[in-house]
Amino acid sequence: MKRVVVTGMGMINALGHDKESSFKAICEGECGIDMITIFDASQHSVQIAGEVKGFDPETVMHPKEVKKADRFIHFGLKAAQEAMEDAGLNADIDKDRFGISAAAGIGGLAAIEASSIVLETKGPRRISPFFIPSALVNMLGGFVSIEHGLKGPNLSSVTACAAGTHGISEAAKTIMTGGADQMLVVAAESAICGVGIGGFAAMKALSTRNEEPKKASRPFDADRTGFVMGEGAAALVLEEYESAVARGARIYAELIGFGESGDANHITTPAPGGEGAARAMKAAMKMAGQPKVDYINAHGTSTKYNDWYETMATKATFGSVENCPPISSTKGQTGHCLGAAGGIEAVVSIMAMRDSIIPPTINYETPDLDCDLDIVPNVARYAELNVVMSNSFGFGGTNGVVIFKKI
């Protein structure tokens, strides 16, 4: 099969509006989590999130067009613009052979909430004609493909918190089987709204550490009490290797393996012992040729069972604690960006490899003896990284893993 490489990247999250500022802040252990300002959360048990602040959607869309797209699409357009520019593409690119693989876990939840309120308070005739196109997950790919004139396959992954990672593997499959020469992966999410926060809080999935927002997300720490919602987007230009070399592209990394699995266990709780996650990790390792992995960006949500079972899955994949590579979760810095998380964390993993630095797992204060991996606590670590892995596991028992190699 054809080789697939990464030639462009973009990112926006609670720590920055571009990949370089975001990554720098992540490695410095900064935290983008704070009190919610997007809506009035005073009546909610959870009042904290990782919001993208100071972002003007008119920088990516004409002012008259902004209302036609939900906030998650605005973020996706921003990340895609950065990735496409970063890839250094020229006018000679065959856009009939350039596709898009979009991803989101929920899509336009805020638009759905707002339109439901309009329906109940003002009646059906007052619902905006832009409501449906603004909220559909696949409209992320639709808006981005129109913006850049991409006429190849237009795909979407909607697999909860694994969506961004599945968007990468779907794009890679398309290139590997000859369906396209280039694919733009865009993973985006913005679900910080009343029904989003309220819904996850009702499940007892979110941390209620409102008095200490900067310390609320604490992956692998014994005192973790749940995840903190984040928002943002990431984009990656994937390209067939020979095509990239022929045009003299700067190549960040090669995608050498991916794995996917289903838990078939529970709608929200991972399979016992991380068995499903381990199968995805092992499948990615097998496809990659069993390389020596130098770093894993964990799914690491800061929930009891995810962190516990991901630890078990990692040990099952690599055989023992001693054989496991360093692993860290950057959700302490960004919050959990749901369907965008896999895209953001893939970009973080590749940049970590580029800069030979492992981002820290912040807020690690009380060791959990059941999470006994080398989690790079609190402070980044410089290390030569040649192969990196990124994990994503979602509700419904859907798992995705990708492995990148330095070229």
Question: Using 50, 70 and 90 to split pLDDT, how confident is the model at 1?
Answer: confident
What residue ranges do the domains of the chain occupy?
4-246, 260-405
What digits encode the pLDDT tens for the residues 52-106? 999 999 999 999 999 999 999 999 999 999 999 999 998 889 999 999 999 999 9
Percent of the chain having pLDDT more than 70?
100
What digits encode the pLDDT tens for the residues 368-386? 999 999 999 999 999 999 9
Same fold, 4-246 and 260-405: yes
Which of the following is catalytic: 31, 161, 324, 371? 161
What digits encode the pLDDT tens for the residues 218-241? 999 999 999 999 999 999 999 999
CATH superfamily of 260-405: Thiolase/Chalcone synthase (3.40.47.10)
The answer to which of 198-212, 263-277, 291-305, 320-334 has the lowest mean pLDDT is 263-277
What digits encode the pLDDT tens for the residues 125-172? 999 999 999 999 999 999 999 999 999 999 999 999 999 999 999 999
User: Could you tell me if 306 and 221 are in contact, meaning their C-beta atoms sit under 8 angstroms apart?
Assistant: no
Instruction: Check residue 206 and give its pLDDT.
Output: 98
Q: What's the average model confidence in pLDDT over 388-407?
A: 98
- Give the number of other Cβ atoms within 10 Å of residue 285's Cβ: 20
**Residue 166 known to be catalytic:** no
Instruction: Check residue 91 and give its pLDDT.
Output: 81
Which of the following is catalytic: 299, 324, 337, 371? 299
Domain 4-246, CATH among 3.40.47.10, 3.40.50.300, 3.30.1280.10, 3.30.565.10: 3.40.47.10
| All residues at 6 or more sequence positions from 391 whose CB lies less than 8 Å from its CB, including other chains | 165, 277, 280, 281, 296, 297, 298, 299, 310, 399, 400, 401
**Residue 161 known to be catalytic:** yes
DSSP E strand stretches across 268-326:
295-297
Chain Cα centroid distance, residue 6? 16
What 8-state DSSP symbol labels residue 186? Answer: E
Instruction: Check residue 402 and give its pLDDT.
Output: 99
Instruction: Check residue 147 and give its pLDDT.
Output: 97
Q: What's the average model confidence in pLDDT over 326-336?
A: 98
Distance CA(297)–CA(159), nearest Å, equals: 19
What is this structure's pTM?
A: 0.97
Is the confidence at residue 4, as pLDDT, over 90? Answer: yes
**Residue 148 known to be catalytic:** no
